[in-house]
Amino acid sequence: MRWILKPKPDENIVENMAQELGVDATISSLLAQRGIKSFSQAKTFFRPELNSLHDPFLMKDMDLAVARIEQALAKGERILVYGDYDVDGTTSVALMSSYLKTRTSEISTYIPDRYKEGYGVSYQGIDYAHDNEFTLIVALDCGIKAIEKVEYAKQKGIDFIICDHHRPGDEIPNAVAVLDPKREDCDYPYKELCGCGVGFKLIQALAYKNGSSLDSLVPYLDLVATAIGADIVPITGENRVLAYHGLKVINESPRPGMKAIIDQFKKDKLSITDVVFLIAPRINAAGRMKHGNHAVTLLTETDINNAMNYAVDIDKYNSDRKDADKAITKEALKQIEDNAEQERFTSVVYQEDWHKGVIGIVASRLIETYYRPTLVFTKSGDKLAASARSVYGFDVYNALSNCSAHIEQFGGHMYAAGLTIKEENYEAFKAAFEAEVKNSIDPKLLTPEIKIDAQLGLNQISDKFYRILKQFAPFGPGNPSPVFMSDDLTDTGYGKCVGEDKDHLRLTVQQNASKQFVCIGFGLGKKIELAGKGKRFKAAYCLDENHWNGVTNLQFRLKDIMA
């Protein structure tokens, strides 16, 4: 691990903010590091307001999208709401379909089969729309590269509205409207919306057109917050506002399907981290292990008893997903270890019987062990399909783009992408990808880094300090949970390895006989020697709460320790 102490902000700004807000210099410094330099900016940060959301009509083609939907509603046309099978896609379809059903009964949903149709808009989906007399498809979290498919639909008398957030190619589909803030010709002020976020902007525009208030759309924000967390988009700007208010809905008045999921793990107050690790995997598991329709059915169900039954099925899919993920990760690690004789800048593995639904998760798991850009391939029909994941600071989408001569189809983001290739191109692609990464990556990016916000003495940590810190949430990309460093620490003698495989580290630390804090370090069990026998060490950590037997105490969630 590389420990990097973030540069200190301007001292005058820190001092002025501390006085204006009545907080200590550390809190003020943390705010300044996040670009917050005035009382008004701090107020917006701590209390995000829905009325600060941008006018949806600032997005290119929004007027065209609204006009076409209103026309369809007025004429009683059949509308098919189409979306990808992951969390962002299924929440988008649930959001759009449930909103449009308040205006018309002529609404149906379509999620492509992950294994028979693959990612994005499919010819099979368009044929389904034609056979069932749909004249308008609203595609969410996909479609930005569906040039030929949109033309195919047009020949069958079907119009398309695309709501996407992925990077466009050189050509934009010839749809009625293409809503994507990443379009070069789109001047929308916030570029980092997820697919469900773009869908929300469309229902916001439809609501405004019909004289409805933004307050009427609050019940949909549990879906938007879930998609924001699951899709790992920056929690800044509009995403922060939507996530903040969406979490309130999740905790106070979730839709029946969401409540049924939450009841399975019984937690009092959910954070965005809980959404990412507890809610999202269950929603995702439907599309990974069975079919994404199951997730949409659950998220649009209005009867709590039915929702509870659906949630039991979803939980079973999630258990199956965990088993597959664990087994495949073990096999993939062995492949890498068996070929470890030469230094590599990438991890590319393939086995034809690996479950396509979990290869993205496996790619992320491999990066935890071998920190380098990673692709996991499996057989998909007569081709090979892969999920790509990257390390912090390296754009895997660009790397794939530069290997496109060997690729049939690809799409995604800087840190996550999907692709298909012909089986006979596997070795050539693997060599090309390795060469591309080797020639373009800064070698230091192959060592994981910990960015440290501030150095703290243990006597600076108090309940009040943590209460203010909690108000920095929701945390995520662009607004990470603050990481602190403390040095000259010693364990009180109770340090030990914990967990089923003794992989985790539990310490009780003090600093020069100061107050003591319990620390838990997941995956840090091997570092126990650094903290044993009264040795002094330093720790990088986030502050956390531990709830046990009705008692709440502050604890450290260790990122790393070193001598």
**Beta-bridge partner residues of 177:** 161
Please, which residues have CB within 8 angstroms of residue 127's CB and are 6 or more apart in sequence?
none
Tokens of 365: 């798991």
Alpha helices in 160-301 (DSSP H): 195-209, 221-230, 237-252, 256-262, 272-274, 280-285, 293-300
pLDDT value at position 196?
Answer: 98
Residue type (1 letter), 220:
Y
Tokens of 29: 């410094």
Please, which residues have CB within 8 angstroms of residue 84's CB and are 6 or more apart in sequence?
90, 92, 111, 112, 119, 120, 140, 141, 142, 195, 292
pLDDT value at position 115?
Answer: 83
Q: Tokens 């006597």 map to which residue?
A: 459
Residue type (1 letter), 498:
V
Residue type (1 letter), 112:
P
pLDDT value at position 494?
Answer: 84
Q: Specify the DSSP element, H or E, that contains 305.
A: helix 304-338
> Residues 498-530, buried b or exposed e (16+ Cβ, 10 A)?
eeeeeebbbbbbebeebeebbbbbeebbebbeb
Q: Specify the DSSP element, H or E, that contains 212.
A: none
CA 39 to CA 446: how far, in whole Å?
39
CA 346 to CA 370: how far, in whole Å?
9
Contact predicate 228/235, CB 8 Å:
yes
pLDDT value at position 428?
Answer: 97
pLDDT value at position 268?
Answer: 82
pLDDT value at position 114?
Answer: 86
Alpha helices in 424-521 (DSSP H): 426-440, 463-470
pLDDT value at position 546?
Answer: 87
**One digit per residue, pLDDT tens: the chain, 563 residues?**
899 999 999 999 999 999 999 999 999 999 999 999 999 999 999 999 999 999 999 999 999 999 999 999 999 999 999 999 999 999 999 999 999 999 999 999 999 998 889 889 999 999 999 999 999 999 999 999 999 999 999 999 999 999 999 989 899 999 999 999 999 999 999 999 999 999 999 999 999 999 999 999 999 999 999 999 998 899 999 999 999 999 999 999 999 999 999 999 878 899 999 999 999 999 999 999 999 999 999 999 999 999 999 999 999 999 999 999 999 999 999 999 998 777 899 999 999 999 998 999 999 999 999 999 999 999 998 999 999 999 999 999 999 999 999 999 998 888 889 999 999 999 999 999 999 999 999 999 999 999 999 999 999 999 999 999 999 999 998 999 999 999 999 999 889 999 988 999 999 999 987 789 999 999 999 999 999 888 999 999 999 998 888 888 999 999 999 99
3-state class of 9 per DSSP?
A: coil
Please, which residues have CB within 8 angstroms of residue 549's CB and are 6 or more apart in sequence?
none
Measured in degrees and rounded to the nearest 5, phi and psi for residue 2 equal -100, 125
Q: In the chain, helix, strand, coil percent, each to 5?
A: 45, 20, 35
Please, which residues have CB within 8 angstroms of residue 114's CB and are 6 or more apart in sequence?
85, 287, 288, 291, 292, 356, 357
Other Cβ atoms within 10 Å of 264 Cβ, number: 16
* Structural domains of the chain in order of their starting residue, each with its CATH number: 2-6+450-562 (2.40.50.460), 56-315 (3.90.1640.30), 339-446 (3.10.310.30)
Q: For residue 226, which of 266, 262, 178 has the smallest C-alpha distance?
A: 262
Tokens of 290: 């069975």
Tokens of 21: 């807000």
Tokens of 159: 């119009």
Contact predicate 199/163, CB 8 Å:
yes
- DSSP character at residue 410: E
CA distances, 181 to each of 105, 126, 143, 220, 534 (Å): 30, 25, 14, 21, 55
CA 312 to CA 260: how far, in whole Å?
9
Residue type (1 letter), 323:
D
